[in-house]
Structure 1
């Protein structure tokens, strides 16, 4: 059975074994690399039992499992590694090992304190990681396995985010190209990456190609493309003519045409890929066991709900309190106190994808939820700027979302007492 399907009682049992001192217990540190991984195994007294390297291949993973299998049962050999996911982590979890992700910065500080000479090597780093695990294991949390549903959704959602980022970059590049050689084409439509703008640039990639464009021809083009904007052709053409004139030199126009068409092709491909992923995300949200829960929140929609769910995950035992999710999302501040000095600052170390997803949802929710609007407005009235007020609202929403998630119950505003109280106040007023 895949570890992703194991009941959580097994995960809890594995975690409880981490603090036991009876029976054989070894600590494994792996210095992860793209091609070859260094492995070090220490006993409970910190003595090196074995050290070796494995290739990042199926055969290498099998060799690792075999070498560790000779030492004892997998659940008695926790493994520390400087990454929370990947095929090696999957293989170790499937073999039954508790895997504890460790922060590279923590290992760096530990190495500087323990290795006084400053020497550094991959086998040495593996030994440092194993020793860090041996001493700090009571403070580390085993990796929480995700279901196949969530892993698949995360892959699609993260890929979509990367493509959206690439589209923003390509749009800016096309806009800069047009501003340099044909400003009118960049000004005629509101969004240069829209379907109508890309179709226009495909037919008229240079100023010279649009020299004889008239109201009638532009109107016919818009009708052919199914233009849904409310601006008549005369207005669009006026925008085109009002902009600075584009270049008309034949040799330069040929280069501009090729460059524009290349950017148009890239943006068209990105738009198509993003739409395909949108449909894929919608299908996955329909079949995901928690999809209905996250889509039930006001103004969450499908894509934003999927972004939250993909990063939030479905390992309920991993988050025993909503504050754990809030910290992971970076929407709780960091307090530093020393003597008479005390400061509260922005939390930089977090899952930035989750923070963006939750704060986007929170900002939108205030237009559909009186309770959310009240929290946001009170935060703004106290002097908070928009991002800070949004994080305050997001933290409030996390408590509600966590409870719905733990109870496997979609959000119902009629059962949310704070929302109903706010509605009653607005009705009375």
Structure 2
């Protein structure tokens, strides 16, 4: 089949961990080919070879926007259309009422959705290698922080069960100084002979910042509620503390190393300089925004599309005389978290942001709602700067606000 026939061919690929189901149909929904390929070198080569029989630029629907198989299809010249899993799930009743599910049927469903509703989706626009590298670093750091928080909560719960004082000596038990203290003193018995002089030596060896004196640190340790755990149980829990500290220590070090790498990387990107120019954006927050925003301007031709992707606008439900506005759950959660982080930080350094936030709180909005309102306002400025490829200019922003206010009046 020649490449001229590509317009009449639709492909659905149901992604799995080890084996992927593929279905090829024509404009009438007739199955032209159906097969499975393994997720390995030979399988990806076979996938590209078999699809080449139907043309060199096919339209392919898949439930994920990234991964090795997506890269292979894009590199082969095909158009890849990522379809959200919730859209696929909502469409299943159109094809069957019994509720059964299989990889082969989902592959056909994806191909047929592309055939009938393809105008609703946009083909994947590959990001540059720099953005893909930045995204890998940022997402890995975010995931490691999630693991650190989970392990830190487990460590905190363990300490509160038999030695609450150790949990409040330092502000963060997962900080290097907090972990060093627990490694040296994992139980009340290990810290029984801890004096002010020994605490001072410990702080010196571990390069403690000195915000609290050794006497204050000891007061925190001894003023907490005493534990009532038997000695044998204390020994067991002390071993749990040692194990958690042994896991957390390299994890915290790797997060620090990734943070340094991200800070150097974002400074080298032109779009990184644009995002970092916003008030209190910093390096990591700017990198989180740019990693999800990308450098393909065609992805967000309008501000509304970017706002919806970032979850900064609500969803309206209307039926007859009934109308309600609800929180937007379906969005890029990483982008929303990064945008709201910037918005929250900016109100401490920017008068316009502070006044917008204060006005929202005065109207009765709680803190998260007010931050989302501020994030939506910042998105307008970020989108414009990103599209124009120009850093944020506070004077230009203020002038635009005055002009809009004058025109509105």
TM-score range relative to shorter protein: over 0.9
Match of 1:280 in 2: 261
Q: Is residue 413–residue 420 contact of structure 1 (8 Å, CA) maintained in 2?
A: no
Aligned to 1:427: none
1:11 match: none
Gaps of 5+ in 2: 404-409
Equivalent of residue 344 in structure 1, options 325, 334, 342: 325
> 1:85: which partner in 2?
66
Correspondences of 1:243-322 after superposition (within 5 Å): 243-246=224-227, 251-322=232-303
Aligned counterpart for 2:315 among listed residues 329, 334, 345: 334
TM-score of the superposition, structure 1-length normalised? 0.88
- Note closer, same or farther for the CA distance 1:342–1:24 as it changes in structure 2 (3 Å cut): closer
Which residue of 2 is the match for residue 62 of structure 1? 45
CA deviations on 1:69-113 (whole Å, 9 max, x unpaired) are 112222xx2001111111111111111111111122322332312
* CA spacing shift, 1:313–1:216, aligned 2, 3 Å: same
Residue 127 of structure 1 deviates from its aligned partner by 1.4
- CA deviations 1:291-346 (Å, max 9, x no partner) are 10111100000000001111111110111011111100111010111111111111
Matched, 1:46 2:26: no
SS at 1:210 equivalent: coil
Secondary structure of the residue aligned to 2:274 is helix
Alignment match, 2:406:
none
- 2:9 aligns with 26
Q: Give matches, 1:341-420, under 5 Å.
A: 341-417=322-398
Are 2:198 and 1:210 aligned? no
Kindly indicate whether the alpha-carbon contact (under 8 Å) linking 1:167 and 1:270 is maintained by their aligned counterparts in 2.
Answer: yes
Deviations 1:329-384 (A, max 9, x none): 11101011111111111101001111111001001101111111121111111111
Instruction: Name the counterpart of 2:107.
Output: 126
The DSSP-based 3-state class of the residue aligned with 2:151 is: helix
Contact 2:6 2:54 (C-alpha < 8 Å) held by counterparts: no
Q: Is the 8 A contact 1:414 1:420 kept in 2?
A: no
Single out whichever of 275-284 and 214-223 deviates more from structure 2. Answer: 214-223
Aligned residue pairs total 400
Checking the alignment, whether the CA contact within 8 Å between 1:39 and 1:123 is kept in structure 2 is yes
Note the residue ranges of structure 1 that are not aligned, 5 or more in a row.
Answer: 1-20, 423-429
Aligned-pair RMSD on alpha carbons? 2.0
> Which residue of the partner structure matches residue 6 of structure 1?
none
Judge conservation of contact 2:314–2:326 (CA < 8 Å) in 1.
yes
Q: 1:263 to 1:247 in 2, by over 3 A?
A: farther
Distance of aligned partners of 1:50 and 1:97 in 2 relative to their CA distance in 1, 3 Å threshold: same
Per-residue deviation, 1:50? 1.3
Corresponding position of 1:105: 86
Aligned equivalents of 2:22 and 2:205: distance in 1? 64
Question: Which residue pairs with 1:18 in the alignment?
Answer: none
- Point out the more displaced range, 167-176 or 342-351: 167-176
Q: Structure 1 residue 128: deviation in Å? A: 1.6
Runs (4+) of structure 1 moved beyond 4 Å?
A: 21-24, 116-119, 246-250, 418-422
Partner of 1:178: 159
TM, length-normalised to structure 2: 0.93
Instruction: Give the Å deviation of 1:121.
Output: 2.5
Counterparts of 1:71 and 1:196 in 2: how far apart (Å)?
62
Contact (CA 8 Å) 1:28, 1:42: kept in 2 or not? yes
Is the contact made by 2:5 and 2:54 (CA closer than 8 Å) also made in structure 1? no
Three-state SS of the structure 1 residue aligned to 2:11 is strand
